[in-house]
Structure 1
Amino acid sequence: MRRAECWARHSSAGVFEPRFDQAGRGTEANSESVNQRGSCRRNASGPCTSTTPERRASAGHDVELEWRQADAEAQPFADGEFDTVLSCVGIMFAPHHQAAADEMLRVCRPGGTIGLLNWTPEGFIGQMFATMKPYASLPPPGTQPPPLWGRPEYVRALFGDQVTDVTADRRTVQIDRFTTPEAFRDYFKSNYGPTVAAYRAIANDPDRVTALDHDLATLAHRHTHDTGTTSMAWEYLLLTARKTEG
């Protein structure tokens, strides 16, 4: 049984609660990656309960996941401690992008692998953020928009000359769990942190709540209209890089 360590950060930007992962992400794809590459934290601490999706996803891959909660911009790990550093829709929500990128690089060993999966600005989630922006509270000073991490040139600039062998590929994940555009809106309205925060900001203005209800349902309808179904293709950027040996 190989052991991987995952860690979580509660963002200072508001209600966002993304998970940031070192040497093991709670998805089947990343658990498989950890299993194949053997890039796991050997002496981890902090339990990951058996009911979490991350623990269930790792069950068939000979990987034991354990959690540590920490700050994405000040990680409690030694320089070069990990063979592989992964983030699946996580690091993009750190408020200060350069600081978060620098920490990913610091804890990755020379020659190690960095892998990122982030929503793109042009894709569905990026467009959802643009839709919510007029309704949301102003972010704290210095906070940067999460979808910027979905632009290859932006991520390359964050990592600079500290990485080589960069590959960037735009892909889509098919989402078909919602029966109607309104069902999508209502689910995100109640469960997705950024959307919850947007509605919270306008809770005392019924007209604006109604307007945001309409705009989010329209966005989902626009992305399902061409297929005639409620299935949507959400675009993301898959970027990998190798930390320089120097």
Structure 2
Amino acid sequence: MTDTTDAGDADRALKAKHRTMWALGDYPAVAKEVVGALGPVLVTACGVKHGDRVLDVAAGAGNAAIPAALAGGDVIASDLTPELLDVGRRDAAARGAELRWEVADAEALPFADGEFDTVMSCVGVMFAPHHQDTADELVRVCRKGGIIGLISWTPEGFIGRMFTTMKPYAPPPPPGAQPPPLWGREEHVRALLGDRVDGVDARRQTVRVDRFAKPEEFREFFKATYGPTIAVYRNIAEAPEKTAALDRALDELAGDALQDGAMEWEYLLFTARRSGVAPG
């Protein structure tokens, strides 16, 4: 067996693990009940208009893709996890949105070079393990003069700190995988995209989350719905003292963030134009 074959097998196993993790629980409930406002923010920032060819990468259940379609875009929602796309199809039909849904790996998108006017991702591609591969694909499928738009949790914001809190209880990351919240640092995204984009607009903003009145409500909701949190708890399921310690740590994190029954979760809103002159 060659090294190339070994690497390919390892990558397929890693992607299968990611697909399984995001199918755990009920991520669409998180997207809709907790951070539903983010999709429309991204669509507005990208300036999606009628007739634009739009690709939402790591779209989940369509938190951004459906608003883009309702804004008149010709939209494809792509994601590694078919179960999330199934939920999105039903939600889109209920809302009268027409778009395509395709299973796709953010690191190897099955689309042509320059196929889209807008390529976007709402707290999605940040979870693909190999950041440069993902960034290269975002650029490749965006036409010259097109828009790349991303929303990513910052390392210093609530979700970034949640991942830091969970890290001691999680299994070690696979070789080569990079931490998701790095996408929330402007300098990291600029380095990934390089001189292939210009007109960068990067700003830190917050989304108000008023879904949880008490820290325990946040903890139990995420233990039941959010794939990464579920996976961490499964990793320590045979160690009740660790489970109790993580419970306390998440309660403390949420308690510090709750002010008058609400939290402000920080994210990076990053938009840029694909360098070069659009044909025609």
CA drift of 1:110 comes to 0.7
| Distance in structure 2 (CA, Å) of the matches to 1:209 and 1:49 | 30
CA drift of 1:23 comes to 2.8
Contact 1:23–1:86 at 8 Å: present in 2 too? yes
Among residues 74, 93, 111, which one is paired with 1:40 in the alignment?
74
The aligned counterpart of 2:175 is 141
CA drift of 1:50 comes to 7.2
The aligned counterpart of 2:8 is none
The aligned counterpart of 1:23 is 55
Distance 1:167 1:12, change over 3 A: farther
| Distance in structure 2 (CA, Å) of the matches to 1:216 and 1:84 | 37
Q: Residue deviations 1:152-183, cap 9 Å, x none?
A: 11000000000000000111111111121001
What are the equivalent positions in structure 2 for 1:69-218 lying under 5 Å apart? 69-218=103-252
The aligned counterpart of 2:265 is 234
CA drift of 1:122 comes to 0.5
* TM score, norm. by length of structure 2: 0.73
Match of 2:173, SS? coil
Match of 1:134, SS? helix
Distance 1:141 1:223, change over 3 A: same
C-alpha RMSD over aligned residues: 2.7
| Distance in structure 2 (CA, Å) of the matches to 1:78 and 1:87 | 18
Aligned residues: 225
The aligned counterpart of 2:32 is none
Point out where structure 2 has 5 or more consecutive residues left out of the alignment.
1-13, 29-42, 44-53
| Distance in structure 1 (CA, Å) of the matches to 2:205 and 2:92 | 22
| Distance in structure 1 (CA, Å) of the matches to 2:100 and 2:86 | 5
CA drift of 1:89 comes to 0.6
What are the equivalent positions in structure 2 for 1:44-63 lying under 5 Å apart? 52-56=90-94, 59=96, 63=97
CA drift of 1:52 comes to 3.8
Match of 2:101, SS? strand
Match of 2:199, SS? strand
The aligned counterpart of 2:34 is none
Contact 2:89–2:101 at 8 Å: present in 1 too? no
Distance 1:159 1:115, change over 3 A: same
The aligned counterpart of 2:274 is 243
Q: Residue deviations 1:24-60, cap 9 Å, x none?
A: 5623x66445555x55258x9x986676445555x3x
Match of 1:148, SS? helix
CA drift of 1:12 comes to 4.7
Distance 1:52 1:161, change over 3 A: same
| Distance in structure 1 (CA, Å) of the matches to 2:129 and 2:273 | 24
Match of 1:80, SS? coil
| Distance in structure 1 (CA, Å) of the matches to 2:130 and 2:271 | 21
Q: Which is richer in strand?
A: 1
| Distance in structure 1 (CA, Å) of the matches to 2:257 and 2:75 | 40
| Distance in structure 2 (CA, Å) of the matches to 1:50 and 1:33 | 13
* TM score, norm. by length of structure 1: 0.82
CA drift of 1:242 comes to 0.3
| Distance in structure 2 (CA, Å) of the matches to 1:160 and 1:51 | 35
CA drift of 1:230 comes to 2.6
| Distance in structure 1 (CA, Å) of the matches to 2:16 and 2:185 | 23
The aligned counterpart of 2:100 is 66
Contact 2:237–2:243 at 8 Å: present in 1 too? yes
